[in-house]
A and B are shown apart, each in its own frame.
Chain A
Amino acid sequence: MLGEGIVRGLAETARNFLGSFVSKERLTTVQFPEERLPQAEAARDFPFLVYDGEDWQAGMRCVACQICEKECPPKCIFIEKSKDKKPDALGRAQFYPARFDIDVSVCMSCQICVEVCPFEAIKMDTAFELSTDDRFGGLLWDRQKLALSDAHYHAIHPTDAAHTDELLAAEKAKAEARTKAAVAKASPAPMPQPPAPAAANEP
């Protein structure tokens, strides 16, 4: 019969429409600004620089090796290496970024910088709603704006952060074993160890 298909389609629409009053399955709309769904744990938006401890400058893990700057697909990272050195979490003297800028208007949230970083220093944040009326300065984030604590990292990506801590602890143990061996070798005149900064403590 002509029109049967149309009637069948309309019946389907009616079933869905009426179903939306009783079934959560059929009412899928979320009224966004008022109602918010929880973000997925793996969610990523823009990168941030992890620091240990309280002071973002002393605890910054980044050693300005510039691998992420080189590997960044849209080339949105700009790093200037420091002239002097500061001790890192393992107590070794390392360079630090005198300047670390990310142009978030160019960044495409691909996570390549996180993957290539050998120091677990850069991670992906989950913050969104970052619009600003200043399209140049407001979207060029400097190292102070990018620096976020390790506690924040643990809060947004708990599984990843636990894994990162394991890696860092393993590296620390290895480094300590190495220094011990070096000390044992040169026992008559032990190497002077740089003092471990308070900020290097694991939170």
Chain B
Amino acid sequence: MSSMTETTSAANDERSRKLTAGISEGQLLEVSMGPHHPSTHGVFRMDVVLDGERVVKLKPVVGYLHRNHEKIGENNSYLASMPYTDRLDYLCSLTNNWAYALAVETLAGIDVPERAQYLRVITAELTRLQNHSSVIGFLVQDMGASGTPLMYAFREREKILDLFESLTGSRMMCNYMRFGGCRIDLPAGWLDRAKKVVAGFPQFLDEYENLLGTNEILMARTQGIGALSRELAINAGVTGPLLRASGVNYDIRKVDKYGIYDRFDFKVPLGDNGDVYDRYMIRILEMRESIKILDQAMCDIPPGPIMDPKAKIRGFRPKAGEAYGRIEAPKGELGFYLISDGSGNPYRYRVRPPSFVNLTVLEDMCIGNYIADTIAILGSIDIVLGEVDR
């Protein structure tokens, strides 16, 4: 990985040299964008070198939200790390829970009952819906469409967060999944409410496509901007909607078929150009596929237990060994790597965050574009700093 970044970094330096050839040092403007800049979605800084309005060099600076997540995980019991995973990508706590639970279940050899698998799929796909709807809202907000599109997206997101609250007790920090199942079963009437929300979602997507899908300003701002080539996307380890927008058919739900994803009929939408517009559309199309999965899962969910009887809450000590659990989080491949030495807390606890890895190609996409496009490109990567810095 490090050598790969070095190569792309060397290529970028070459491009910077070409762009600045014949320009004296005094003509270039160095701007420190962030860490307190509304477009950076948190505390993220970009050291940008500008020739006029054109970006000739860009270095992302991360670490402002570093809070020792991995070290805390190594000093806490396995269970106590679960609520901390909520706070990685704080928009998608349920998929974070799932990835961590999957890693621990692989480590300890715990099975997950049928009903809990369905609950996980339902909550994870609802998470994908609310993450994607808010990210497209944020993206157009960053490009200057302040208010309306973001508020429409938040109106829909709120309905899903209400579902999360009535199920898990918390809107965003759900802390719902456990090793071997889920914490609590669905409350009475929840499934009907969820079905209603999901049934109303395509209408919102149609509305959104009416609102922005053919908007000339949006197309001018996004089409052909920040194109990411297939080769670079694969070489840099980019995953998620960013990779699929570049035309690479790679979705861990299809590749790994973790959980029970092999039972559902859904497609993986792919982009052609890998520009900001493709990334925007990919998310809308992915939401439509998520709705298909949700329809199937909420129809088929069987009754039964939601926890593996072998799973222990207190005194959980998996045997020595190592495990990697990965899932397709809304932002890409989210993985947890755990090494157990047989004690109550992991010997090594490592997170493979999608946002952080996707951020490594930011400079490649931005060089040569205008500074205003940088913001659109950053918005289309969909980073959450809680996950980037950990």
Contacts and interface: CB of A to CB of B under 8 A. Distances in A.
Interface of B: 76-77, 79-84, 86-87, 148, 152, 155, 158, 162, 165-170, 173, 175, 183-184, 187, 207, 210-219, 313-314
A159 B169 CA distance: 13
A155 B173 CA distance: 24
Nearest to A42: B169
B80 A72 contact: yes
Nearest to B188: A159
B207 A112 contact: no
B314 A44 contact: no
Nearest to B166: A40
A73 B166 contact: no
B176 to A, nearest CB: 10
Interface residues of A, number: 31
Interface of A: 2-6, 8-9, 11-13, 16, 28, 40-44, 67, 71-73, 108-112, 115-116, 118, 124, 159
A73 B80 contact: yes
Given A73-B80, A116-B314, A159-B187, A42 B168 contact: yes
Contacts of B214: 4-5, 8
**B interface majority secondary structure:** helix
B79 A112 contact: yes
Nearest to A3: B216
A73 B76 contact: yes
B173 A109 contact: yes
A113 B139 CA distance: 39
Given A4-B214, A73-B80, A73-B84, A40 B219 contact: no
Contact of B152 (A4, A16, A71, A72): A16
11 contacts: A12-B211, A28-B158, A42-B165, A43-B169, A71-B77, A71-B80, A73-B80, A73-B81, A110-B175, A112-B82, A112-B83
Contact of A42 (B79, B84, B158, B187): B187
B187 A6 contact: no
Contact of A111 (B148, B175, B216): B175
A41 B187 CA distance: 9
A109 B170 contact: yes
B215 A9 contact: yes
A94 B39 CA distance: 57
Contacts of A159: 187
A108 B83 contact: yes
Contacts of B175: 110-112
A44 B80 contact: no
